[in-house]
Structure 1
Amino acid sequence: MPEPRVAIVGAGPAGLRAAQVLAEASLRPLLVDEGHRAGGQIYRRPPPGAERPAAALYGFEAGRAQALHDLADALAPRVDYRPGTTVWGIAPRDPDGFDLECLGPDGHGRIAADRLVLATGAMDRTLPFPGWTLPGVFTLGAAQIALKAQGMAIGRRVALVGAGPLLPLVAHQYAKAGATVVAVLDVTPLAAKVKAAPRLAAVPATLAKGVWYTMRGALRRQPVRSGVRAIAVEGAARVEALAFEDAAGRRHRVACDAVGASFGLRSEAQAADLAGCRFAFEPVTRQWQPERSGQGRSSLPHVYLAGDGSGIGGADVAELQGERTALTLLADLGRPRDPAREAHLDRRLARQAGFRAALEAAYPYPHHLVEGIADDEIVCRCEGITAGAIRRTATERDASEMNRLKALTRTGMGRCQGRVCGHAAAEILARTLDVPVETVGRLRGQAPIKPIPLREPA
């Protein structure tokens, strides 16, 4: 009987570790990677000819990044690697298996797979604020990509805003690269971090890195503020300044030519949606995520999940989950199990889960920013839908659910397919109706989940 064809979507830490385990078991997995070089977002590699020392790109994570890059290179003869390939559609195939609709260097193609490992990662969670659509405003993730992939900063005088541990990291990376960081604004309260510190100490190495980044910023005299209540980008044709209100209610203004802003991370779960996985609402991060067992199984027998695409955990967790999920897949194929290895991974993942819960407590959801979104603020940039339009549709046209809101307003119908605007729209809709956000549901995934050129035949 021929071996099943296993397709791994995503070549970040989770996807690479899964591919390693399967290759070690003499399978030849298909590794589909939207990037042009394996590594994912956190360990993104510069293009050939633009390489720089790992220490300059990844800091404390240089050793881990280099190890994963070396692993990707070593796996090349043992996997079917498809770089620069976007999976924009997934269709279940009778009686079992899936067809992946892809767009790669050679154009459109369809890939048949018997089993899927979805390691699709995460992206920045955005919230609208005055001026967020001006040229020169980026997400923190985009600011990182500019440094790692292009070797450039988003501006010379940069203001950074966030609600998560990515904020001090990007501030450190930009200062080290030579940019002037004029403001580091944390929209979550300092008291939350102090309260969570004892629980964060459960993974002391990770906590120490976060403290070091913060202290380095202090030594560089970076203007860091916590508990920021309101932000607004000022400028005519592009960014000229960032205004904000501090925790005491005082207004400030700093001149800058670029802003990086994001408010945590959200799972890239559209592929799991198209495959037919069941979703559940995660109340701490306030997002819908595909159901994943501790062993990596989804709600479907032939779909497996690993990494941030099924719950935000970070790069370390993604590696562990990639390995654990691949072991589960092999066990489901009838291969011999390694209970000791599985138990070791389970213990490490349990420890990381406790740390992640503490991290979420240290950076709580910024409800005040959602409450402050004005009626004239653009929420869905692709379709030009404002917060006021969402609120009026909720109250005047009985839009009590996200997909009805989409049908009535086109919110989420643009190029991003709701990946950027969907979260904010759901929060605004729920607040307008005075109901818990989970009751308004989520936007259903629709192919293509990523933009594809019209010139390509579908």
Structure 2
Amino acid sequence: MKHAQTPRIAVVGAGPAGIRAAQTLAAAGLVPVVIDEGARAGGQIYRRPPETFVRPPESLYGSEAAKAVALHATFDAMVRDGQVVHLPRSSVLAIGDGRLQVLGEDGCHWVAYDRLILATGATDRVAPVPGWESAGVYTLGAMQIALKAQAAALGRRIVLAGSGPLLTLLATQLVKMGAGVAAVLDTASLAQQAAGLPGLMARPVFAARGVAMRARLGRLYRAGGTVERIETDATGPVAVHWRDGRGRAQRTACDAVGLGWHLRAETQLADLAGCPFTYDAAWQQWLPRTDHMGRAGNGVYLAGDGLRLLGADGAEVSGRLAAAACLADLGRPSPDTTADLRRRATLARFAAGIARAFPWPADMVRRLPGETVVCRCESITAAQLREVVSYGGAEANRAKSLGRVGMGRCQGRYCQLAGAEIVAAAGGLEAAAAAGRLRSQAPVRPAPIGAFLGEEAIAK
């Protein structure tokens, strides 16, 4: 039976979730438009270097090399065979009236859709530290991108600080390539990490890999410490001041610092698309709410870390589920999802273990010295934010309106979680959730004014 009209389906993101969603749709005979900020598909976890890069996949992706290569090949074949329309180096700035405003290399244009799958992934979850606004201080993700894309270590004597699997993984990768790693400071104590073991044992092979990487770091790795400040001069970081698990003051000399506390879901587009949100106490952040297949309502589906922080394997699963839900809602044959639903349940138990083992350092953030810059875009300090709360109340959007925290280029990506902790603490609220959630607004990415001149509407 032929359908009267081929539905227009847009997929935002070409990481593991977006690729598997596109593959499922293509297998059903549809041709989705895949919009991605990267020059080549793969997302952050399977980020591809330039085509002229000669390092073997094993050096880029380690034990996941075969999986990454297969995923890349799958997407490239779909593009080559005309099964998907790929819009690389393109950012979605806004959503409205069944259209996406897309900023590409040739300026802005509009992409119309009947169904929308958002696979926007996640970014580093960063906690402010005195001195973090200095040049030479990066997120862990930024350091890993430089490593994968250019085989470059951002520093000669590097201190990595934060918590979560990426901290250990990046440290191991840097050490393997011969970079000068001075210390790996994990704010999660060994007791906290042990508390997450029941969940982590849902994937014992992955848990064992983490233990093996930790062992290779040896005395570089320190657990249960507190990062107090980054000492800097005119050229950048000079040292990191921290306290070990026994409270003893330590100073580690360095010329570069990487910070990161696992991940923060990219949810701005989900917000603009009208998706409902709920506060996830385990991850201590606001996440979109969907049904078990990723349906958010109004023809919008969510997949990957932008929905739930389940890692690369979980992203692939949720991408297939979202596409299957989309097909079912269109009245088209959809694949059996029984195995994927079971797999996702296992991955969710593992993710819960990660969240418990490597918690967000809420207490550390709430106690930040007043001079600490919280919002780097607008140079708003902790003291200024607390002052705003004293006369404006402990509500995140009011603090944004009155104090400009979260109004800069990053639109709160790096400061909103820490800002909510400080607002809540200053207002006497026990949990950051009580301070509310910052409302997203377009454009969700910085864009030149000239890009909005002469926009063209295109429908794929």
- State the TM-score bracket (shorter-chain normalisation): over 0.9
Does structure 2 conserve the Cα–Cα contact (< 8 Å) formed by 1:60 and 1:209? no
Q: Which amino acid aligns with 1:204?
A: P
Query: Does 2:362 correspond to 1:348?
Result: no
Q: Offset at 1:442?
A: 1.1
Aligned to 1:327: 324
Gaps of 5+ in 1: none
Does structure 1 conserve the Cα–Cα contact (< 8 Å) formed by 2:183 and 2:220? yes
Q: Offset at 1:26?
A: 0.5
1:349-376 CA-to-partner distances (Å, cap 9, x unmatched) read 0111111111111112212321331111
TM-score of the aligned structures, taking structure 1 as reference length:
0.95
* Aligned pair partner of 2:387 in 392, 399, 407: 392
1:51-84 CA-to-partner distances (Å, cap 9, x unmatched) read 4210010111111111111111111121000000
Give the alignment's Cα RMSD to 1 decimal: 1.2
Give the 3-state SS of the residue equivalent to 1:318 in structure 2.
helix
Aligned to 1:407: 401
Give the 3-state SS of the residue equivalent to 1:240 in structure 2.
strand
Identity %: 48
Aligned to 2:84: 79
Does structure 1 conserve the Cα–Cα contact (< 8 Å) formed by 2:310 and 2:348? yes
Does structure 2 conserve the Cα–Cα contact (< 8 Å) formed by 1:19 and 1:29? yes
For residues 401 and 329 of structure 1, the distance between their equivalents in structure 2, rounded to whole angstroms, comes to 37
Query: Does 2:26 correspond to 1:23?
Result: yes
1:172-201 CA-to-partner distances (Å, cap 9, x unmatched) read 111112101110000011112223224312
- The residue correspondences of 1:23-422 to structure 2 (distance < 5 A) are 23-76=26-79, 77-91=82-96, 93=97, 98-218=98-218, 222-237=219-234, 238-298=236-296, 300-338=297-335, 341-395=336-390, 397-422=391-416
For residues 33 and 15 of structure 1, the distance between their equivalents in structure 2, rounded to whole angstroms, comes to 9
Q: Which amino acid aligns with 2:281?
A: P
For residues 260 and 8 of structure 2, the distance between their equivalents in structure 1, rounded to whole angstroms, comes to 38
Give the 3-state SS of the residue equivalent to 2:313 in structure 1.
helix
Give the 3-state SS of the residue equivalent to 2:153 in structure 1.
coil
Does structure 2 conserve the Cα–Cα contact (< 8 Å) formed by 1:229 and 1:368? no
For residues 424 and 116 of structure 1, the distance between their equivalents in structure 2, rounded to whole angstroms, comes to 31
- Measured at CA, do residues 445 and 198 of structure 1 come closer, stay the same or move farther in structure 2, by a change above 3 Å? closer
Give the 3-state SS of the residue equivalent to 2:286 in structure 1.
strand
* Aligned pair partner of 1:428 in 410, 416, 422: 422
Give the 3-state SS of the residue equivalent to 1:235 in structure 2.
strand
Q: Offset at 1:410?
A: 1.2
| Aligned length in residues | 446
Does structure 1 conserve the Cα–Cα contact (< 8 Å) formed by 2:28 and 2:333? no
For residues 54 and 305 of structure 2, the distance between their equivalents in structure 1, rounded to whole angstroms, comes to 26
For residues 281 and 416 of structure 2, the distance between their equivalents in structure 1, rounded to whole angstroms, comes to 16
1:263-289 CA-to-partner distances (Å, cap 9, x unmatched) read 121100000111111111111111111
Q: Which amino acid aligns with 1:369?
A: M
Runs of 4+ with deviation above 3 angstroms: none
Give the 3-state SS of the residue equivalent to 1:182 in structure 2.
strand
Does structure 1 conserve the Cα–Cα contact (< 8 Å) formed by 2:394 and 2:426? no
